[in-house]
Amino acid sequence: MRTTKFRFMWLLAAAALAFTACDKDDDNDKPQILVEDGLYIVGEATAWADYDLKGQMVGGINEVDKQPRSTMFEKYVALEAGKTFKIVEIAGKQAIEYGPDNIADVVTNGENEQPNVTAKVGTYKTGGSYTVNESGLYHVVIDKELQKIAIIPVPYWGILGGSTPYGWNDADTKLELVGSFDKQQMEFKITDLELRKGDFKFRYGSGWKFQLNDEGTVKVNTNFGGAVDDLVPGGDNIVLPVDKEGIYTVTMKWSAETGGLGMTASMTKTADVEPLPEYPETLFMIGDGVGDWVWDNTDLPMVPVHSHPYMFWKIVWMNETGEFKFAPKKMWANDFGKSGDMSADSVYNKGSDNVPVPGTAGYYMVVVDLKNEKISISDVKVHLIGATIGNLWDAPVADGKFTVDNANEVVTITKSLSAGELRMHVWHKWFPVQDPQPVAWWQAEFIILNNKIEFRGTGGDQERVNLTAGNYKIDLNFKTGAGSITAQ
């Protein structure tokens, strides 16, 4: 009996050892995943040879509706040409690879406010790895609902906005790569940059967004706002107060040791600047040529040109006879008019004399340039631009020009329009020749909202008015401020 009991206990112990050994062997056969659930970029083309929290992709924001998109993930990453990397989703003990399926080079040509790059875009499948043709910094985006992948090169960063010398154009304010490619860290820099009171943003490849589907309903931001020390994709403009004006060194830096999107910015002031001339924030017209000489009876505010604080414009009805002047407030203080005679191109020098009306009643466009002390009285030029007029964005679009109908006191156009956002603006010969930053069309735009003309002025993007494709008549009454869009 004792022998039988001993043998039984020995068999139990042996079985337990065998079971434990089998469990251990099984565990060794499985990959040890020691990171939290999420999507990761990993591989020899990157700085992360294995799963690393710093290589985790982050949730994206759909640029179209400005809302977080639960199926979009993005990451900036330095990629070495000729080597491979993978996009892997960790879900518990599972590791799901999303490899290339139908990937092609897409040349954007900067269309639809996209970066001017050649990106790899297409669908993905389970399994496989990616490569790039050139070493550099890339913006990698995946959308699980669309089953789309985009690998977008970052050729340079730009800083642009009202604070910069060239306004909302970064052609001459590029942050170029410092040194050569490095999987661990890449830095883009501009030095001796003059920054003034205003606002600015960062973007790469001179684009604001990258389109992920043909319908244009899903786009990823290719710009940063928010704050210099807290970059936000598509965030609000970064504000620079007047006491921070100066000469700066500005840097955009990517590091494999930085979590999140991997990008940080820095600004170092290296010198002071002389204060700029101060201009009034508002300007008003008054006189019997445009109303009467009583401020309580005449309310004719001019429209400030965005990012050009010295310039104002207005489309105004002028009587057959009379004169007018300007003032920064609706009172007789610091008012001004013209000096001398009108030039051949309908321009006066700024002075103290009343400005006479041209002599024929109707609409005219008045532009005041306080920096150069000039006053222009010219024909009215209003244009459509953008999606509704054949997706043309180079202002002024000749085919989208409005007609002045003084008999009915409207500026009007009747035209077959494509579906899209209705965008309108005024145009003047001074706009493209401003130095150092020309006046872009959107800096003198307006919309029709609730049957009223709403001017953008110095404000941000206005509420959008979308049209379906069709024939429309658009009337603008600048005397009353009324606007109408009527399907024909």
The Cβ-side half-sphere exposure at 392, using a 13 Å CA radius, reads 16
Q: In the prediction, which pLDDT does 169 show?
A: 85
User: Do 153 and 137 touch, CB atoms closer than 8 A?
Assistant: yes
Alpha carbon 162 to chain centroid, angstroms = 13
DSSP state of 332: S
Give the H/E segment covering residue 12: helix 2-29
User: Do 220 and 60 touch, CB atoms closer than 8 A?
Assistant: yes
In the structure encoding, which two tokens stand for residue 37, read together? 């659930």
pLDDT digits (tens, 9 = 90+) for 84-141: 999 999 999 999 999 999 999 999 999 989 999 999 999 999 999 999 999 999 999 9
Q: 244 in helix, strand or coil? A: helix
Q: In the prediction, which pLDDT does 54 show?
A: 97
The residues of the chain scoring below 50 in pLDDT are 1-30
| Cα angle, residue 105 at apex, residues 100 and 111 outer, rounded to 5° | 130
The Cβ-side half-sphere exposure at 50, using a 13 Å CA radius, reads 5
pLDDT digits (tens, 9 = 90+) for 162-203: 899 998 888 889 999 999 999 999 999 999 999 999 999 999
C-alpha 358/C-alpha 353 separation (Å) is: 15
C-alpha 390/C-alpha 17 separation (Å) is: 77
Specify which residues 174 forms β-bridges with.
158
C-alpha 440/C-alpha 431 separation (Å) is: 7
C-alpha 35/C-alpha 59 separation (Å) is: 17
Q: In the prediction, which pLDDT does 31 show?
A: 52
In the structure encoding, which two tokens stand for residue 158, read together? 């730009």
Q: Is the pTM of this model over 0.75?
A: yes
Please classify residue 107 by burial: count the beta carbons closer than 10 Å to its beta carbon, then call 0-12 exposed, 13-18 middle and 19+ buried.
exposed
Please name the residues in contact with 4: beta carbons below 8 A apart, sequence gap of 6 or more: none
User: Do 154 and 136 touch, CB atoms closer than 8 A?
Assistant: yes
